[in-house]
């Protein structure tokens, strides 16, 4: 880190991903990539970026959650940046990294989806994609989206992706050279995670099955119950709102068996050398699982919950973690060598004059789209002002006469409605 003449702190790089979201995998990926770069000797900051939809999540959920406490303790971030001021980041660094996680999954990006293609970065800035993911089995978007993605990615200096399918899409459809690497949570030593897990000691049976699911289907529930009966063990089911990140790590580390449909649930089961079963949905982001499990030599550990009988037989062969560690050592080395080279390599050629004009036009269109979306949302609230006030009063009463989990939910909802009412009143006042 250096300080310029006008006292602006400058860093070797800045990282854009979903770290500031209420998700264990998102925050741990952000932490791990930051730590890996620090261990290479690069000063860096995770970008605190919020489009309007994400800012609402941040204000109503993240800012009052245990994820915020975790990030305050372990993560170094920038100040808050919104869509309109992302270009100011060029004052603090000349190298940007996007990734890891599902940063190119368009239905998670908000209106300004091209921010995650670093459309705000100066033409002279180095742009790196590290273990980026499209999330689902295929690219979400129309022909125009694909063309725009190709435009932005061809100006990246280095691209690595997390899944085989993403690599094929980038090379064959977008014409972008890339490498396939493991998720950043594998880049740093396990001791970092052990230290976090050891800061807590939640009550738990000596032996238990851990069920960590991002949404549970009836098939999932049948598998969980069947394993509990088969092994004669109780099941601990994690609830995101009630389980801290350190506790999440603790429960995975000490579980006899982990049942999960979470990508990072799988990753940390491997990191902690746990027996696990990945109950994956073939229709939803299946490549995320097949790639990492294939690299670890554990492909047979991924089974849809609908394949119920096969799932129940999988625990007959304990995982040979000596073999797994040997494979992942090579994968980790490859990923870190790639990242180190990407950071050291000189900046590629700058944009042509035509490309610079296209960049400016694309960014202008994005700003117009964001403004239009925000204005339409406000107009709907203005037209339904009376209804909005009634909803707020009803929510406030429910908040006052509730307790426990419901009380917390009504508190969050009340705050959201209050902010929307404030915006409507401000609009009415300014347009009288």
pLDDT in tens, 15-29: 999 998 889 999 999
Residue 107 has pLDDT above 90, yes or no: no
Label residue 241 by pLDDT band (50, 70, 90): confident
Domain that holds residue 400: 384-426
Q: Which residues contact 221 (CB under 8 A, 6 or more apart)?
A: none
| Same domain flag for 178 and 245 | no
- Do residue 162 and residue 210 come from a single domain? no
117 and 225 belong to one structural domain: no
- 66 domain residue, yes or no: yes
Does residue 350 fall inside a structural domain? no
Question: What is the pTM assigned to this prediction?
Answer: 0.81
Give the pLDDT score at 21.
83
Kindly state whether residues 182 and 222 are assigned to the same domain: no
pLDDT of residue 222: 87
Closest listed residue to residue 116, CA positions, set 93, 141, 95, 133: 133
> Are 215 and 155 contained in the same domain?
no
The answer to whether residue 329 sits within a structural domain is no
Can you give the CATH number for the domain in which 147 is found? 3.40.50
Phi, psi of 65 (to 5 degrees): -100, 170
Q: What is the CATH number of the domain that holds 286?
A: 3.40.50.2000
In the chain, what is the straight-line distance between the N-terminal and C-terminal CA atoms, in Å? 49
Same domain, 227 and 279: yes
Number of separate domains in the chain: 3
What does the alpha-carbon distance between residue 57 and residue 62 come to, in Å, rounded to a whole number?
6
Q: Are residues 117 and 200 in the same domain?
A: no
Whole-number average pLDDT of the chain: 86
Residue 101 pLDDT grade (very low, low, confident, very high; cuts 50, 70, 90): confident
Q: Extract the tokens encoding 252.
A: 């995975």
Banded model confidence at residue 184, pLDDT cuts 50, 70, 90: very high
The pLDDT confidence band at residue 10, using thresholds 50, 70 and 90, is very high
> 55 pLDDT band (50/70/90 cuts)?
low
Do 103 and 194 belong to one domain?
no
Least confident residue range of 130-134, 251-255, 346-350: 346-350
Question: Are 171 and 234 part of one and the same domain?
Answer: no
pLDDT digits over 157-176, tens only? Answer: 999 999 999 999 999 999 99
CA distances (Å), origin 191, targets 85, 186, 218, 276, 323: 38, 12, 37, 21, 20
Q: Is residue 31 part of a domain?
A: yes
């Amino acid at each position: 880190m250096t300080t310029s003449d006008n006292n602006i702190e400058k860093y070797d790089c800045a990282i854009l991903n979903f770290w500031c979201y209420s998700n264990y995998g998102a925050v741990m990926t952000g932490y791990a990539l930051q730590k890996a770069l620090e261990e290479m000797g690069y000063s860096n900051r995770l970008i605190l970026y919020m489009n309007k939809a994400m800012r609402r999540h941040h204000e109503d959920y993240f800012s009052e959650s245990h994820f915020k406490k975790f990030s305050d303790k372990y993560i170094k971030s920038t100040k808050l940046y919104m869509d309109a001021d992302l270009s100011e980041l060029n004052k603090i660094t000349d190298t940007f990294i996007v990734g890891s996680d599902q940063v190119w999954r368009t239905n998670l990006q908000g209106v300004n989806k091209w921010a995650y293609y670093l459309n705000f970065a100066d033409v002279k800035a180095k742009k790196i994609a590290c273990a980026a993911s499209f999330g689902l089995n295929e690219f979400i978007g129309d022909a125009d989206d694909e063309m725009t993605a190709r435009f932005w990615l061809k100006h990246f200096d280095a691209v690595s992706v997390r899944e085989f399918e993403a690599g094929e899409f980038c090379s064959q459809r977008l014409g972008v050279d890339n490498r396939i690497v493991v998720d950043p949570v594998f880049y740093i030593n396990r001791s970092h995670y052990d230290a976090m897990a050891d800061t807590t000691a939640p009550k738990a049976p000596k032996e238990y099955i851990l069920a960590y699911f991002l949404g549970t289907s009836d098939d999932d529930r049948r598998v969980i119950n069947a394993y509990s009966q088969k092994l004669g063990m109780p099941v601990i089911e994690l609830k995101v709102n009630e389980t801290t990140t350190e506790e999440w790590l603790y429960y995975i580390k000490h579980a006899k068996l982990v049942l999960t449909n979470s990508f990072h649930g799988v990753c940390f089961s491997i990191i902690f050398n746990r027996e696990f079963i990945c109950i994956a949905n073939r229709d939803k982001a299946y490549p995320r699982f097949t790639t990492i499990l294939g690299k670890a030599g554990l492909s047979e550990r991924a089974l849809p919950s609908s394949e119920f009988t096969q799932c129940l037989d999988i625990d007959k062969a304990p995982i040979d973690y000596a073999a797994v560690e040997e494979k992942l050592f090579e994968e980790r080395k490859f990923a870190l060598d790639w990242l180190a080279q990407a950071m050291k390599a000189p900046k590629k050629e700058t944009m042509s004059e035509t490309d610079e004009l296209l960049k400016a036009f694309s960014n202008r269109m994005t700003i117009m789209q964001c403004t239009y979306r925000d204005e339409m949302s406000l107009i709907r609230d203005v037209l339904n002002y009376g209804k909005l006030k009634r909803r707020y009063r009803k929510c406030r009463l429910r908040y006052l006469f509730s307790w426990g989990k419901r009380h917390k939910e009504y508190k969050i909802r009340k705050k959201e409605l209050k902010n929307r009412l404030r915006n409507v009143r401000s609009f009415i006042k300014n347009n009288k």
